[in-house]
Amino acid sequence: MSQENDEHREVTIPIDSVALAGTLSLRPGARGVVLFAHGSGSSRHSPRNRYVAHVLRDAGMDTLLMDLLTEEEDQVDVETRHLRFDIGMLAERLVEAADWLVENPATSELPIGYFGSSTGAGAALVAAAERPDVVAAVVSRGGRPDLAGPALPRVEAPTLLIVGSRDFDVIRVNRFAMTRMRAETKLDLVEGATHLFEEPGTLEAVAERASKWFTRHLAGGRTERSAAQGRTRR
């Protein structure tokens, strides 16, 4: 299906005392909505995540690409590099963003998936553990699921861990995280890829595998009971 009829909205997501910018792309007849949790030093303008989002919309999903830090916080993080590793704070913002999607009339009936990269994957798993009735699937790209720590056994969403076959340190921490997880979890190695999936064809492989995972696990709308539970947990 062509994306010509897709609607793209620049949105502001209020979270505690800050407001985070995002791009919500709506697909006619979408089967789910995928919220992107970018990695360290990145933003909603990440070309890799924007490419994956494009492929997911081709597969019939809405997408939300959002900044996890304000402009001021981002400037601080450039100097200190500590906010990108504040998994608790990032996870709370992803929880609030999922709640925002539940309350948004355009996405309120859709199951939610998280697509996390690098440190964003750890935050996405913590957030998924906090919203088991709302988050239906998680995909990690070159992620650090180990950073989710004690939240890993509480994750109920089926989780796909995509790692480059030449990203040896990240393979190791992903395998460690799998030993802590109880949900359906799969480690999928992209042959010849390093951490950023810059090799020819490797990012396309990531997008295809993520699309298949979300298509499988975001089937059908969220039930009224699950939607109500998502709202009352705020």
Instruction: Tell me whether residue 206 is in a domain.
Output: yes
- CATH number of the domain to which 163 belongs: 3.40.50.1820
In a domain, 124, yes or no: yes
Count of other CB atoms within 10 angstroms of residue 10: 9
SS3 per residue for 17-43? CEEEEEEEEECCCCCCEEEEECCCCCC
Domain containing 62 equals 7-232
Per-residue pLDDT of the chain (234 residues; tens, 9 = 90+): 556 678 999 999 998 888 999 999 999 999 999 999 986 555 677 888 999 999 999 999 999 999 888 777 766 655 555 566 789 989 999 999 999 999 999 999 999 999 999 999 999 999 999 999 999 999 999 999 999 999 999 999 999 999 999 999 999 999 999 999 999 999 999 999 999 999 999 999 999 999 999 999 997 555 443 443 443 333
CA distance 154 to 182: 7
Whole-number Å distance between alpha carbons of 118 and 122: 8
Q: String of b and e for 159-190 (b: at least 16 CB within 10 Å)?
A: bbbbbbebbeebbebbeebbebbebebebbeb
- Using an 8 Å Cβ cutoff, are 143 and 187 in contact? no
Confidence (pTM): 0.89
Number of domains within the chain: 1
Residue 225 lies in a domain: yes
